[in-house]
Amino acid sequence: MLQRHQENLELIRRVLDKDYVELHLVTLCVEENADETKTTATLQLSDGDQTVSLSGSGVGLVDAVFQALLDRYGREYQSLNSIELADFRVEAKMDTKNGKVGVDSMGTVRLDVHNSEGKSFEFSDESRSVSRSAARAVVAAVEYFVNAERAFITLHRALLDAKERKRVDLVTRYTRELAEVVKSTSFTEVIENMKKDI
């Protein structure tokens, strides 16, 4: 079960409304040679009303899944190029085992990701499959930063429009909301360019 407790998520969802990008893992196939440090992950995601097939390679599952997502979304959403994995933890909940051995226990995967400002964000998922939970946590992180960037750009455009129309009430609102969303995004270059207009 994916946990969603990110700062400003409610604001980001409200700003984007029906344009919020929902990414869900549909399938995951992992190929790994036990003697090498290369992992290939092939996944299918539902991205709104379409299914997207992705593949990436890296050192381990988390890296391979992130590379697959970065190849697909990194050009459009530059914030993904500046986030950094700070911590990765797996915790087994042995009291949830069905079999005597316990290898079917629920496990929680937690990813700590830092944005370009060094702020930490945690993404977690719980299931009986460590690989599925790890992949879903990475997908959740990418979804969050994609939408934070989209919300920032949407609010910035709305702010410029409000200034042009001399709507002081909206300028105040959008400035406040931008200040909140900027804490979540990791798109330093665009933020710096847009700050000049504020």
Q: Any idea what the CATH number is for the domain that residue 38 is in?
A: 3.30.160.270
Q: Verify that 116 and 186 share a domain, yes or no.
A: no
Q: Verify that 168 and 85 share a domain, yes or no.
A: no
- Rounded CA-CA distance 109/47 in Å is 23
The total domain count for the chain is: 2
DSSP H helical ranges for the chain = 9-16, 61-73, 130-164, 168-181, 188-195
Which residue segment(s) compose the domain that 180 sits in? 153-195
Q: Verify that 58 and 29 share a domain, yes or no.
A: yes
Q: Verify that 102 and 158 share a domain, yes or no.
A: no
Structure tokens at 148: 């934070």
Confidence at residue 99, expressed as pLDDT on a 0 to 100 scale: 63
- Give per-residue pLDDT as tens, 78-135: 889 889 999 999 887 777 666 655 566 788 999 999 988 888 999 999 988 889 999 9
CA dihedral 52, 29, 34, 72 (to 10 degrees): 10
- Give per-residue pLDDT as tens, 131-181: 999 999 999 999 999 999 999 999 999 999 999 999 999 999 999 998 888
Query: To which residue do tokens 């964000």 refer?
Result: 121
Q: Verify that 90 and 169 share a domain, yes or no.
A: no
Q: Verify that 167 and 142 share a domain, yes or no.
A: no
